[in-house]
Structures are given as C-alpha cells and as structure tokens.
Amino acid sequence: MKISVGRLGALAGAAAAVLAVPSPAAAHEKWFVPDPHGYPGDWSFAVRPLTLAFILGVALVTVGWRYLAVRRLPSPELPGLSFLGRLVPYVPRLLAIHLGVSLLAAAVSGHFLTHDLKVEGLPAGDALLLLEGALGVWFITGIRLRPAAVLLALAGPLALLVTGPVGLLSAMDLLGVAVFLAFVPPSDATFGRVEPDAVTLGRGLLALRLGAGGALITLAFAEKLANPALARETLRMFPQLDVFALVGIDLPADVFVTVAGVTELLFGLLVISGALPQVAVLVAGIPFNATLLLFGGTELLGHLPVYGIFLTLLAYGSDPRTAPLVRRLPRLPRRLVRRQAVPA
C-alpha cells in the first residue's frame, strides 16, 4: 500500500518540524570555543538513562524511516523535485568544486582538512598546507580528478592520525567525498558530464553516505554526548543557540545538549540509511543553514563538503533512475546467509 503524495507532504512537514528544532546540532563547537582540547570527554554522560533513552529512540526512528522508504513510499518520494535529476550528470563536477574550495580555505587558514589539525609547529606543516592547497586547486579545475581523489583518501588519514582517531573520524565526510570522486570522477566532456554504470555509482554513493554519516555520528559524541563540558561552554558563549529559550521553553543545559547531540546522531544515521534522501536532505539543510547567521564564513566554508554531499544525495535521489541506488545497502554474502539459516 502506497502513501499518497498529500500524506507524504504532511509527513515531510512533520519531520521538518520535529528535526529542525535543535538547530545548533549543526554547529561545530571545536571551531569556535577557545582551547577545545581543554575539555575532556565524559562518557558517563552518554550512558545516563535519559541519554540512552534518546539514543534508543533515534535508532527506532531510523529503522522506521528505512521501513517506510522501502515498503511504503515511492522512489523518489517527492516527485515534484524530479527536475533536480537534470543535475545528475554534473553532480561529480559540482561536488569536486565544493571540496576544492573547502580545502583551499583550510590551507589558507593553516588547518589540514579539519580545524582539529592546526599544522603550526609540525615539522612538515608547510608541506601539508602546500599539498592541501594544490589538491584544492586541482579539485576546482575538475581535470582528471581520480588521482587527486586517491591521493586525498590516502594522505588525509595519515595526517589526521596526528590528532588521534576522533580527528580522523570527524573528517570522514571529506574522505567520503574523495572516495566517491575516485569512483565517479568528472569526465573531460563539457561541464564534466559523466554517466557511470549503476554498480560504480552505487559504490560511490555508499562511500559518500558512510563518510558523511560517520562524521556526523562522531561529532554527535565527540562534541556533545560524550563531551558535555564542551557543549555547555559553547552554549554559554553563544546563548542564541538555545532556540527553545527563544520560544519560551526553559530547558536545563544538559537536556538541551542531549537533544542537540541525538539530533546530530539521527542525521548521521539517516544519511547512512539512504532512505527518503529528498526529505532527509531538505530537513537536515534547515539547521545546517540556520547556524550560518551566527557563525558566518567559517561555518560556510567548513560545511561546504557537507553542502556538496546534500546536493549529491538530493540530485541522485530526485532522478527515478538513480534514486534506488541512493538507499541501497550492501547485502550479506550468500554463503554467510546460508550459514545463518542452518539451525544449530
């Protein structure tokens, strides 16, 4: 049984109203709080009954979201956005520009890939910035990008190991873009037009979703659910982030931190699921754009790869030919499935 377009619109509106409330979920505390490494993690906050209840709720919402997408709703779920499918041949070129500008801006500001890694004082710091800037220009040109994507996918993790696993995981969105462009680089045709086969595109989209979703999940814990002190300091410095207070709702700081963290966690899980990409991107775009009013250019340049990922998922999710690939998840090998089916 399919759900009508009218009901789907109501569903999208309800999702937007619920998920867009805690808009600071899109803000990166470590970009704006002085000495962000001075706030030690506190995993006891993440395992509190309240936090665990929210996390369980988010997991159940993700499962329900996926079930609706696969069993009940059409694909694409918002046919009125089908015109965005015309961008599909040019998406890799547009995504490369987003990545290139972000890399170039990071190099100019003295950071490698993420604000967690400021190269000042590192023995090879200048070389890293030079490499990053050169890769940024390369991605912007759009010329033969597969080597550039492979180089970024290899060099990024090696450099980010300096900051530890959290720094590496928080930059997974950039690495996901790099892997996608390694699978689906722009061609030498006009405007980089490319039409990959379904298998290659599916692999690239899976890498992109894992990278973007993994980064969001990491940040949900590293900057909020497992580091409430950092989140509280951010809220103290920028009280405008408390959108609940703006509408007269007085939430304790820890409850607000929990809500913001699980919202970011939900966004990450929805991106990985690939389900209802049009609705998910439109809803997630609200908080990611709302924080621009407060944080300005730093937030804009830092989030450029995320905007490129959203554009990619929205465009491919709006084309009936590619929409099923956006939500495709890898299947278990048949041998493993048969083993699990054999009774003990």
The domain segmentation of the chain, as residue ranges, is 40-329
pLDDT at 37: 66
**23 CB contacts (<8 Å, ≥6 apart)?**
241, 243, 286, 287, 290, 291
Model-level pTM?
Answer: 0.84
- Token pair of 40 as six digits: 């030690």
CA of residue 281 relative to chain centroid, distance: 10
Separation between Cα atoms, residue 249 and residue 118, nearest integer Å:
38
Q: Do residues 308 and 95 make contact, with C-beta atoms less than 8 angstroms apart?
A: yes
Other beta carbons within 10 Å of 136: 22
pLDDT tens sequence across 174-204: 999 999 999 999 999 989 999 999 999 999 9
pLDDT at 245: 75
> Residue 140 burial (CB < 10 Å; 0-12/13-18/19+)?
middle
pLDDT in tens for each of the 344 residues of the chain?
A: 444 544 444 444 444 444 444 444 455 555 556 566 667 788 999 999 999 999 999 999 999 999 999 888 888 999 999 999 999 999 999 999 999 999 998 888 888 887 667 777 667 778 888 999 999 999 999 999 999 999 998 887 877 776 677 777 888 899 999 999 999 999 999 899 999 999 999 999 999 999 999 999 998 998 899 999 888 888 888 777 777 777 778 888 899 899 989 999 999 999 999 999 999 999 888 877 776 666 666 667 777 888 999 999 999 999 999 999 999 988 756 554 455 444 44
Separation between Cα atoms, residue 315 and residue 306, nearest integer Å:
14
Separation between Cα atoms, residue 320 and residue 85, nearest integer Å:
8
